[in-house]
Chains A and B, each alone.
Chain A
């Protein structure tokens, strides 16, 4: 065996490796901190805005304007008893909330939040990982997120939870099709599955102007995918208790909640990347623009929640299968024709 000599190339490789690892850890830390803090404050913003829409104040006791409310909520969740029902399928019951939270967090890994920057002569891309099938990575995780809700509902061994879980599985599988089909025109325009390439293809013109139909279909399906009003049948409070998470308490319920709000931000980020030009924008730096766009999309989602009533189950299925999916398919054909012509 030859002794390893620390010549120049090995030294360079090592240096690149070390800088790459440090950059990765820093990026992961920044993204996680942003997502978790934002999730906590999105809950507050949502409660405040819903309060205002319903002509009341919303939470205003903890700290000034209720700004410490997220911390109070977190402490409450952490210190509550973690109850597992006797008849529950114990292992699946304990793991289901983690599936929801993990899949939502992982999706953000492929969302670019700025142009490449140079640190000590090394190029560092401002994205956790740029894989050439980034869009499919997002879909893979989003289709796995369904298991969290479905298995959480099934393992609780309660009728309300089971109904919520079944509804969740049916709804998310149905709308995932429209969600995926609505993005095919975007991939056709950009010629790539990579989210970095898709953002770079929108330097001149954001795709919302080129593909308004795709944007509308994606936004509606995204609302259904995160089970928000008007598509919140899996957790319909007035008929199912709380749906698939009826039996959950303490921080496990908190994980479902966290997953929902992280998912909301991720979908905001995806809408920004696919249709609003990602981190591109005048004056402000890239990450700020992306954050602004994410918050904007989330605010619209909250506004919709405060405005619309819940759909009936047959309306939900009819709309998904008979309106959104045919419209998305037609949009693919039209875009193809336009690109060929």
Chain B
């Protein structure tokens, strides 16, 4: 057990625990903070794998931008925190069933796939090389993704605009 293993397993524990806390908190702001901690853990794992570029993007995009929008909306709506600690059963059972399904499929894959135990080679590189690789070898996926984001943006604009038009009439 060397230093990297110890770091990896403690970060993995942090991710699992904080994600678990994030989905079980009834106080939405606390849930958001635990989820931010979980994203931080993921960023640490990327850094540990020798990918500081992805680690930085993880913090900027997920922990920095997306979660602050969640927080913003929660603060705007002033959601009341319910008194009871546990979720009602009709919300909980579907979630537990889906999670159990994933667990079974994941365990089966890990047990039967011959590549599951393979050790991945280290792939440390400069941000510029990484960028060139992404835009040369996977340009189609990049373009499709950006098109999807554009469609989502226009859709959000359309939905956001509609009520003001009705109120003006």
Given the known A-B contacts A92-B29, A131-B52, A132-B127, are A143 and B65 also in contact in the complex, defined by CB atoms under 8 Å? yes
**Would you call A150 and B59 a contact (CB within 8 A)?**
no
Minimum distance in angstroms from B28 CB to a CB of chain A: 11
Q: Which residue on B lies nearest to A95, using beta carbons?
A: B33
**Would you call A89 and B29 a contact (CB within 8 A)?**
yes
**Would you call B69 and A132 a contact (CB within 8 A)?**
no
A170 contacts partner chain B, Cβ-Cβ < 8 Å = yes
Q: Is the interface of B mostly helix, strand, loop or mixed?
A: helix
Interchain Cβ contacts within 8 Å, total number: 72
Minimum distance in angstroms from A8 CB to a CB of chain B: 25
Given the known A-B contacts A92-B33, A146-B68, A173-B65, are A140 and B59 also in contact in the complex, defined by CB atoms under 8 Å? yes
Alpha-carbon distance A153/B68, docked complex (angstroms): 14
A166 contacts partner chain B, Cβ-Cβ < 8 Å = yes
Interface size on B (CB < 8 Å)? 22
Query: Digit string of A186-226 for contact with B (CB within 8 Å is 1, else 0)?
Result: 00000111000000000000000000000000000000000
**Would you call A173 and B72 a contact (CB within 8 A)?**
yes
B8 contacts partner chain A, Cβ-Cβ < 8 Å = no
Minimum distance in angstroms from A226 CB to a CB of chain B: 16
Interface size on A (CB < 8 Å)? 28
B128 contacts partner chain A, Cβ-Cβ < 8 Å = yes
A259 contacts partner chain B, Cβ-Cβ < 8 Å = no
Alpha-carbon distance A191/B126, docked complex (angstroms): 11
Alpha-carbon distance A80/B93, docked complex (angstroms): 51
**Would you call A139 and B60 a contact (CB within 8 A)?**
yes
**Would you call B65 and A147 a contact (CB within 8 A)?**
no
**Would you call B59 and A144 a contact (CB within 8 A)?**
yes
**Would you call A154 and B75 a contact (CB within 8 A)?**
yes
B49 contacts partner chain A, Cβ-Cβ < 8 Å = no
- Of B33, B63, B75, which is within 8 A of A165 by CB? B75
B57 contacts partner chain A, Cβ-Cβ < 8 Å = yes
**Would you call B126 and A169 a contact (CB within 8 A)?**
no
Which residues of A sit under 8 angstroms from B75, Cβ to Cβ? 150, 153-154, 162, 165-166, 169
Most A CB within 10 A of own CB, among B29, B36, B55, B71: B71
Alpha-carbon distance A173/B57, docked complex (angstroms): 16
B76 contacts partner chain A, Cβ-Cβ < 8 Å = yes
**Would you call A143 and B59 a contact (CB within 8 A)?**
yes
**Would you call A169 and B68 a contact (CB within 8 A)?**
yes
Q: Which residue on A lies nearest to B51, using beta carbons?
A: A133
**Would you call A146 and B64 a contact (CB within 8 A)?**
yes
B12 contacts partner chain A, Cβ-Cβ < 8 Å = no
B56 contacts partner chain A, Cβ-Cβ < 8 Å = yes
**Would you call B127 and A133 a contact (CB within 8 A)?**
yes
Given the known A-B contacts A89-B29, A132-B52, are A147 and B69 also in contact in the complex, defined by CB atoms under 8 Å? no
**Would you call B36 and A136 a contact (CB within 8 A)?**
no
**Would you call A133 and B29 a contact (CB within 8 A)?**
no
Which residues of B sit under 8 angstroms from A147, Cβ to Cβ? 36, 68, 71
Alpha-carbon distance A165/B29, docked complex (angstroms): 13
Minimum distance in angstroms from B14 CB to a CB of chain A: 17
Alpha-carbon distance A166/B69, docked complex (angstroms): 10
**Would you call A150 and B72 a contact (CB within 8 A)?**
yes
A151 contacts partner chain B, Cβ-Cβ < 8 Å = yes
- Of A92, A140, A155, A166, which is within 8 A of B72 by CB? A166
**Would you call A150 and B56 a contact (CB within 8 A)?**
no
Instruction: Give 9 CB contacts A-B under 8 Å.
Output: A131-B52, A133-B52, A136-B56, A137-B56, A140-B64, A144-B63, A150-B72, A176-B65, A191-B128
Closest 4 CB pairs of A and B: A143-B64, A136-B56, A140-B59, A133-B56
Give A contacts to B, CB under 8 Å.
89, 92, 131-133, 136-137, 139-140, 143-144, 146-147, 150-151, 153-155, 162, 165-166, 169-170, 173, 176, 191-193
